[in-house]
Structure 1
Amino acid sequence: MRAHSLREAISLSLAAALLATSLFAAAQSSNADRPIRIVVPLAAGSTVDAVARAVAPAFGRATGHPVVVENVVGAGGIQGTAQIVKAPKDGLTLGMVSSNHVINPGIYKTIPYDSMKDITPIAVLATVPVVLVVNNALPVKSVKELLAYAKGNPGKLNYGSAGNGSVLHLAGELMVSETGIDMKHVPYRGTGPLITDLMGGQVQLAFVSISQVAPQIKAGTLRALAVSTPARSAALPEVPTMMESGVPRYSFDAWIALIGPAGLPKPVADSYAAAVQEALVSPEARNVITGQGLTVLNTGPDLAPAFLQSELVKHQKLVKQSGATLD
């Protein structure tokens, strides 16, 4: 009796999946000329926006649809993401999100969606390594010397970030957690003023994405001590990792992922993931990826959900530890 019920349940489940896929295929056929809208819940000019616009042409060629990238900003990405999760499940509205997607549930008391249950993870395209930089007035030339200085001068170091609960804030918070040093966090409204004050000495150190401080590192106006990732970055091959520098459990980077609303059939997510893979090797995308110092991951829909879930757990722990809140 149980075996019969199980077979019946499996048959119904398969039938439902096939029906969903066939309905989607019919919808796609009728929508063949309609564009795919990729919502970027961050400002134009951001790394996520640059990547979305770089992969859009080749992604469109692979899917057979024109692609329109649209920035919907507000509330740290919540407004744009709300549009993604509430969109029709016809595959014509997708979203390009960043690590903020798994940070926001901890720094905002309420958000109008569940960051995992209300999305279909399609692909994790790339990670965005960050680098620990210090201003030249600080008498340290390595992470080991920085930690010794911090322990000898508790509470005297200020580290800046792009804002409370930002990726750069949590990168610094992880260093505090892993080393036990005492530093003060100074939040800024974006990386532009942060870098200006970092060079001016108002803050002594910060974690910043490599592309945003590469000119200053090259010019010698900021000193790079370590990159955040387990492996060295091709953009700064001479700079050691935090792990190499004596912080063995330190591993941190931002990332960029393509998502859709919950309920997209798996064949659709698979086909879009394949289109992303094709787009990532296009000349348009390669130039941006190299220029931004990104590391291509291209984790597809089989592994992307577990990746995002693990990042959610990791970031929520850091948010709680930092005490960051935005409402």
Structure 2
Amino acid sequence: MTHAIQRRSCAAFFATLALFGTGAMAQASDKPLRVVLPVGAGSGVDTIMRAAAPSLTKALGGQGVVIENLPGAGGITGASVIVRAPADGQTIGVVSNNHVVNPSVFKKMPFDAVNDITPISVVGATPFVLVVNPKVPAKNAKELQAVLKAKPEAYNYASSGNGTILHLAAAMFLDAAGAEARHIPYKGVGPMVADIIGGQVEMGVLAVPAVQGQLKAGSLRAIGVMGKTRVPSLPDVPTMAEQGFPTVDIGGWFAVVGPAKLPPAEVKRLHAAVVAAFATPETKDAMAKQENIINPMTPEASLQFFKTEQERYAALVKKANITAD
């Protein structure tokens, strides 16, 4: 998935920068741009967007940016607000994998994950890491596999919600390891991380930006990176593939979207602003520190990506037999 993003043509990216270079900056609006995040504070997407917000304001010609966290129901709560917003370019959202996972998990959805939004740009991707409470007697994936197999009823794993991408990622590891653990869903990443640190649950998969501080402090232990390549800030943490689990390959992506039927002029304006914001030295530095790979897609490529990802996760959900509570 991450490689798919990296392979996208950069032609649109540089064309947009050229547009800004000619002075075609967005005109500031009297109203701030409302950016709805269907995730809690402290999550990977939240960390990303708060770092990019100052540059986004500049790219919008000085228009303010108000970030609103609306977690719940695996992202459906916040996404429902995005799809119901007026299609005037004053409300956008930033969604991730969960947005296209949910249709396979929930029997009834209050909206169509693809047709009820306007993709503006799949901006980039962020790596996932499996972490445990330091009291868990395992320092790598094979040791964790052995611990789980020895006491199949003794361990719990957390996620940001039933059927979310973090749930799927952990289930993917357990399936590859032939092990079992009890799933404990949370309403967001913040309380999930707090309870892994506190020992109420033993482990979980998280985006690297959401747990960098805890890993450095030693309040969480990294077991393995969930993608195909190591993470620069965690050079001593091998991938799951390196540890004998080649089928474990999953990470997070994030995309800027608007409600359906967003006028083409607004799509163009917002896409240009997003590309410019993530190209500033300040945001690029922040993204590098968070280990995010930034390569914005065009609106057209983003739409196709959404469709392909929805199909991919439908197969994963079916294999893991995940259904809504």
**Is the 2:36–2:70 Cα contact (8 Å) retained in structure 1?**
no
1:171 is matched with which residue? 169
State the SS of the aligned residue for 1:298: coil
1:145 is matched with which residue? 143
Correspondence 1:42 to 2:39: yes
- The aligned amino acid for 1:68 is V
Return the alpha-carbon distance in structure 1 between the equivalents of residues 94 and 205 of structure 2: 23
Q: String of CA shifts for 1:164-183, please: whole Å, max 9, x gaps.
A: 22332221111123333222
Report which stretch shifted further, 144-153 or 298-307: 144-153
TM-score, normalised with respect to structure 1: 0.77
State the SS of the aligned residue for 2:296: strand
- The aligned amino acid for 1:289 is M
Correspondence 1:71 to 2:59: no
Report which stretch shifted further, 124-133 or 317-326: 317-326
Correspondence 1:115 to 2:125: no
The alpha-carbon distance between structure 1 residues 203 and 37, as it changes in their structure 2 partners (threshold 3 A), is closer
Return the alpha-carbon distance in structure 2 between the equivalents of residues 227 and 134 of structure 1: 13
Return the alpha-carbon distance in structure 2 between the equivalents of residues 248 and 324 of structure 1: 25
Identity of aligned residues (%): 40
Let me know the Cα RMSD of the aligned residues.
3.1
1:310 is matched with which residue? 308
Q: Which runs of 5+ in 1 are unaligned?
A: 1-27
1:323 is matched with which residue? 322
Q: Which runs of 5+ in 2 are unaligned?
A: 1-25
The alpha-carbon distance between structure 1 residues 193 and 86, as it changes in their structure 2 partners (threshold 3 A), is closer
2:206 is matched with which residue? 208
Match of 2:284 among 283, 286, 290: 286
- The aligned amino acid for 1:256 is F
Return the alpha-carbon distance in structure 1 between the equivalents of residues 133 and 88 of structure 2: 50
Correspondence 1:252 to 2:258: no
Displacement of 1:259: 0.7
2:272 is matched with which residue? 274
TM-score, normalised with respect to structure 2: 0.77
- The aligned amino acid for 2:134 is N
The alpha-carbon distance between structure 1 residues 220 and 96, as it changes in their structure 2 partners (threshold 3 A), is closer
Q: Which has the larger radius of gyration?
A: 1
1:14 is matched with which residue? none
Displacement of 1:219: 3.4
- The aligned amino acid for 2:49 is A
Return the alpha-carbon distance in structure 2 between the equivalents of residues 201 and 87 of structure 1: 40
1:58 is matched with which residue? 55
State the SS of the aligned residue for 1:302: helix
Displacement of 1:241: 1.3
